[in-house]
Amino acid sequence: MLLISKHLPKLLALTIFMQMLDTTILNTALPKMALDLRQSPLQMQSAIIAYTLTLALLMPLSAYFCDRFGTKRVFLWSLLLFVLGSVACAFAPSLAWLVSGRVLQGMGGAMLTAAPRLVMVKSYDKNQLLTMINYIVTPALIGPIIGPILGGYLSEYMSWHWIFWINVPVGVVAMWLTWRIMPDFRADKLPELDKLGFLLFGGGAVALSLAMEWASYPNRQMFALILLMISVLAFVAYIYHAKRTANPLYSLNLRLVRTFRIGVLGNLVSRLGISAMPFLLPLLLQVGLGNSASVAGLALAPVAMAAIVGKSLVQPIMRRWGYRRVLSWNTRLIGLMIMSFALPNADTPVWALLPQLFVMGLCNSIQFSGMNSITVADLRAEQNSSGTSFMAVNQQLAIGMGVALSALVLQQFSQHSLHIHDAFRWTFVLMGCFTFASSWIFARLHGQDGANLLR
């Protein structure tokens, strides 16, 4: 029997905290970074998209590498890549260098996605598992509160480079603990990896995301159109491949599960607007309304605080009104909340936005928990692994696409002789429409869908 260190949950919690902090700390620092890198604040989306796109591309390999090389080795290399990526970002003299560092960070972050879950499942009995999960995911809730505040203060009072330097000591401590206490689990029988499926699906996802981002650059729009066509061809080729492969990367029979099909599509469309907000709000508060980075970071804290409160409300709300009604009406409410950020003007005090931000964070928390759980609710045992992996990749793609689309819309409005604040207003309205429209997707659920999750 393998002896499990009592410090193992702390190590897993530390790595999750480092990832969540890095995901949320960057947004409030973007205007300061843009000034230093001689870029427009409205064209810094590449720094966010590069990370999320790398996560989406490499996440399917995470579990496979853990099974083949062992959790200890994967953990060590993942942390090393993450730290090296952070150092590269801290030294970045240009946006292109910064994006390269973010890709390196994403490579490490992607490999860390499956390892903590695998280590927990194999280290603890089922009666201990829930307690351990609650312990290590707590930092995932705290990170989004600290991230925007820390990012704002570091970029304003020290330097934006410090938002990456702080990952170094945390990562080094995590590597040392991994070397000392991480158990080395690996599969007795190595699962088969669908290499061609990975290349086709991953290539299609990368081409689609790059097409959306490059569409915002006048000199790259022809390349964006070519990438869009490549993306369509790659996805069509993947479907053709998956029909003729015994163990495809993502089984096509997942589409036969109605709740999974609705959940994935609803996830994608609703997150286009929701995922744009962490990018747009710091820009609105600083570029549009003229506030400092530290004030913007503090103003965004209620969103993450409300998300923690919302977790405790999901079960009672779902029991009272059911998944279909809650997800349909909640997406409409979130869509209207996003549009409501078109109302503030240059004279609006930041404190007046706090109720809006809190309500939006509360609704987001309910939405994420609800649509994630309904997506996997009716999967069979043999579909769980493929379905859960596809849902996670879909979420990362939606985040990248939401940021790319909102940046494209904001730039297009700002280039057509609109005042910058008017450009923000129309961008919020349009992005809110995407989330509002997703309500009709969730309306296709049946009244009893998700009842098995509430017993």
pLDDT tens digits, one per residue of 405-419: 998 899 888 877 667
Q: What percent of the chain has pLDDT over 70?
A: 95
Last-in-domain residue among 206, 229, 248: 248
pLDDT tens digits, one per residue of 138-159: 777 777 888 888 888 998 888 8
pLDDT at position 310 is: 84
Q: By mean pLDDT, which of 10-24, 70-84, 274-288, 322-336 is the weakest?
A: 10-24
Same domain, 282 and 366: yes
Q: What is the rounded CA–CA span in Å between residue 404 and residue 50?
A: 10
Same domain, 243 and 260: no
pLDDT tens digits, one per residue of 252-261: 888 889 999 9
Identify which has the larger pLDDT, 421 or 170. 170
Same domain, 170 and 28: yes
- Give the structural domain span for 87: 8-184
pLDDT at position 14 is: 86
pLDDT at position 455 is: 67
Is residue 72 situated within a structural domain?
Answer: yes
Q: Is the pLDDT of residue 135 over 90?
A: no
Same domain, 33 and 139: yes
Is residue 3 situated within a structural domain?
Answer: no
Q: What is the rounded CA–CA span in Å between residue 2 and residue 283?
A: 50
Which residues make Cβ contacts (< 8 Å) with residue 414, sequence separation at least 6?
42, 420, 423
> What's the mean pLDDT when you consider all of the chain?
87
DSSP string for residues in 313-364: THHHHHHHHHHHHHHHHHHHHHHHHHHHTTS--TT--GGGGHHHHHHHHHHH
Last-in-domain residue among 184, 214, 239: 184
Is residue 345 situated within a structural domain?
Answer: yes
Is residue 1 situated within a structural domain?
Answer: no
Q: What is the rounded CA–CA span in Å between residue 200 and residue 207?
A: 10
Is residue 2 situated within a structural domain?
Answer: no
pLDDT at position 126 is: 62
Averaged pLDDT, 393-406:
90
pLDDT tens digits, one per residue of 83-117: 999 999 999 999 999 999 999 999 998 888 767 77
Same domain, 295 and 350: yes
In contact, 296 and 286? CB cutoff 8 Å: yes
How confident is residue 1, by pLDDT bands cut at 50, 70 and 90?
very low
Distances (CA, A) of 5 to 12, 66, 90: 12, 20, 34
Question: How many domains does the chain divide into?
Answer: 3
Q: What is the rounded CA–CA span in Å between residue 74 and residue 119?
A: 12
Last-in-domain residue among 184, 206, 239: 184
Averaged pLDDT, 30-37:
90
Averaged pLDDT, 354-371:
91
Same domain, 231 and 260: no
pLDDT at position 4 is: 64
pLDDT at position 71 is: 86
For residue 143, the surrounding DSSP H or E stretch is helix 126-153
pLDDT at position 3 is: 55
Same domain, 332 and 424: yes
pLDDT at position 86 is: 94
pLDDT at position 90 is: 94
pLDDT at position 134 is: 67
pLDDT tens digits, one per residue of 174-183: 999 999 888 8
Q: Is the pLDDT of residue 32 over 60?
A: yes
Same domain, 299 and 349: yes
Same domain, 285 and 387: yes
Same domain, 160 and 204: no
Buried b / exposed e along 167-190 (16+ C-beta atoms within 10 A): beebbeebbebbeebbeebbeeee
pLDDT at position 323 is: 92
pLDDT at position 356 is: 92
pLDDT at position 113 is: 76
The domain that holds 326 is classified in CATH as 1.20.1250.20
Q: Is the pLDDT of residue 221 over 90?
A: no
Same domain, 353 and 424: yes
Is residue 270 situated within a structural domain?
Answer: yes
Is residue 382 situated within a structural domain?
Answer: yes
Is residue 274 situated within a structural domain?
Answer: yes
pLDDT at position 422 is: 87
pLDDT at position 380 is: 85
Same domain, 103 and 231: no
Averaged pLDDT, 380-405:
86
The secondary structure of residue 192, as a DSSP letter, is P
